[in-house]
Amino acid sequence: MSNPASPPAVGVLDERPGLTFPPGFLWGAATAAYQIEGAAAEDGRTPSIWDTFSHTDGRVVAGHTGDVACDHYHRLGDDVALMAELGLKSYRFSVSWPRVQPGGTGAANPQGLDFYRRLVDELLAHGIEPWLTLYHWDLPQPLEDAGGWPARDTAARFADYTTLVADALGDRVRYWTTLNEPWCSAFLGYGSGAHAPGRSNGAHAVRAGHHLMLGHGLAVQALRAARPSAEVGVTVNLYPVDPASDAPGDVDAARRIDGLANRFFLDPLLRGSYPEDLVADLSTVTDFDHVRDGDLATIATPLDLVGINYYSRHVVAAPVEGAEPEPYWRAPSCWPGSEDVRFVTRGVPVTDMNWEIDAPGLVETLRRVHDEYTDLPLYVTENGSAFVDTVVDGEVDDVDRLAYFDAHLRAAHEAINAGVPLRGYFAWSLMDNFEWAWGYTKRFGMIHVDYDTQVRIPKSSARWYASVIRRNGLAAQ
């Protein structure tokens, strides 16, 4: 991909006419606790499922772990200063459940809460709005040992943890996300086993998905009780799903994958029901006996906003006998009841994750959620790309990532013009970090991290994003 414009230095505004975003549009960047914090065994923190998973042979590329990660726990002040230099209006971070509540039950750990108090205070001192995510995949290991998300009790424990965080930080944090990408937690964690805790059981994945959403609903209610003024939402990762052709088998394959990837979560969260066709598709996997009276009403507790993470599009086709297995994030066991659906590659440009680059899909996704589900404010809570970066003379000229951001922000602007109430955008990610099962081999950051020295280098994309924030828009192409 070509660079759409030479990136100006931080603070230099490109004055050419272009696309302007609405006043007050929230420009941010995002991270997750296990991916950046490190300090895995300090100040009372106990293991999460990702600590256990990453320390298990063969689970993470090259045996990498999040023990140190970006050492953000010890470099909080410097990292917030970098955010301020970029001009971020908001920073979306997650709280480490086992840092705040070791073991997943009982009283809060004061040292853990103090870290997040310092983070929030530092953000506010620099004029950056804190955006707190309660769960970004780091379930305390004792709760997994007791059954994990397939066990109903985990949802209740999540609500208890939510109250601890709300009591400590709710006076200074306005925006709250309950869950980040429950599809990944359920279907990669308990279906394919590619993510922590590494289980492979389709029925458990479906149960985990339901209990994650139940925990979300209980957490919303806990937040409302503790902090009535909080603005509360959930973040789901969504994909346009297209059939490879108009053939009936391909069309049905798209319906099935759309059900598992998108409607499994959107319908309960925003309509208070599971789609009938999805329940039928899953009839060989589960009879949904884990769904109790009142669950769906709790899951659909009213929200203030919806977060959408967007990275790519799925194109699928009917089964063909002897088809080659798909990459792990599309592994058959990610799709219980639809294991034989084929995912089709189209020969378009891809990122270093082998994810197809498809900016128009963001427009489709945002319009679908608004047109079919809700009038609530929407936020793009993650959007970004991994590419191979090279440091040359102390600089990282990541032209492909810059072009990716530019294309997707133009798509976001198009969605706004089409009437979508999009209120903000969070680039993924603020800095290179521990990329889950890929360890440190994939880089999504706008800021380069040398994992040996912990030196941070803002990339070209960071300088460009700073100019976008300054102008509240994009330069002309």
Give me the active site residues, please.
Answer: 181, 382
Start-to-end CA distance of the chain, whole Å, equals 14
According to DSSP, the residues that pair with 91 across neighbouring strands are: 29, 130
Q: Under the phi-then-psi rule, with left for phi > 0, alpha for psi from -120 to 50, and beta for the rest, what region is 324?
A: beta
What is the C-alpha separation between 205 and 150, in angstroms, rounded? 7
Helices (H), 87-177: 97-100, 110-125, 141-145, 153-169
Structure tokens at 60: 């993470």
- 129-135 and 90-94 strand pairing: parallel
What is the H or E stretch that residue 206 is in? helix 202-226
What is the C-alpha separation between 237 and 49, in angstroms, rounded? 21
Q: Under the phi-then-psi rule, with left for phi > 0, alpha for psi from -120 to 50, and beta for the rest, what region is 47?
A: beta
The residue among 449, 464, 470 whose CA lies nearest residue 36 is: 449
Q: Which residues 6+ apart lie within 8 Å of 371 measured at CB?
A: none
